Amino acid sequence: MDADTETARRAAGGDMAAFTALVRLHQAPVRRFLRRLSPQDCEDIAQDVFIKAWRLRTGWREQGPYGAWLMRIAWTSFLSHHRRHRQPDTAAHPAPEGAWPPAEGSIDLARAMAGLDPKARAAAELCFAQGYSHGEAADILALPLGTLKSLVARARVQLAAALEKTHDA
């Protein structure tokens, strides 16, 4: 059993210090994922994700990594937020306060990511940037594996095109 599982088990038992340790460990990937999906509201949604994770702490059944469980909550939180506040192009907004400016080479890529629909963006972020396998990402996004693979393939084509454009310029 790894340290993450043991800490998550203690958090599931109501140990707030253990939960805070998990927050420190997983806040960066969760916030990065949400920033990619909804830059304007990512901080609020991320806070809600961890509050929800605390409320549902007994729902983590050790079926997979704790980080993936949090990502599932993050995705469903984003979807319900997105339904409530429909925005035509959420990723086109500037990054929230406190965020570091993106590295120069990634600007075009970020723009290309913003052009993808939220599902494809989420799939690309999980598989390319966060290193999840197709199976894990499909599980997080509650999509059939085939659908996830086609989303990733579509994102790859669009991002590769953006990358080529950067090199040509």
Partner 1 sequence: MTPDDELDHRLGALLRSDGGLEEQPFVSQLTQRLIAEERLARARRAAWLRFATEASASAAILCAFVLLGRLGPLSAGSAFQALSPATAAILLLGLWFAVELRPAAGR
Binding residues (CB under 8 A) for partner 1: these are 16, 19-20, 23-24, 27-28, 31-32, 35, 43, 46-47, 50-51, 54-55, 95, 98-103, 105-106, 109-110, 113, 124-125, 127-129, 131, 156, 159-160, 163
Distance in Å, CB of 116 to partner 1, minimum: 12
What region does 98 belong to: left with phi over 0, alpha with psi -120 to 50, or beta?
Answer: left
Please report the DSSP string for 111-127 in residue order. HHHHHS-HHHHHHHIII
Distance in Å, CB of 152 to partner 1, minimum: 9
SS3 (DSSP) at 89: coil
Distance in Å, CB of 20 to partner 1, minimum: 6
Q: CB-wise, 63 or 126, nearer to partner 1?
A: 126
Q: CB-wise, 107 or 142, nearer to partner 1?
A: 107
Q: CB-wise, 27 or 40, nearer to partner 1?
A: 27
Q: CB-wise, 9 or 156, nearer to partner 1?
A: 156
Distance in Å, CB of 131 to partner 1, minimum: 7
Task: Quote the Cα angle for 109-66-147, to 5°.
Answer: 50
Q: Token pair for residue 106?
A: 């990634």
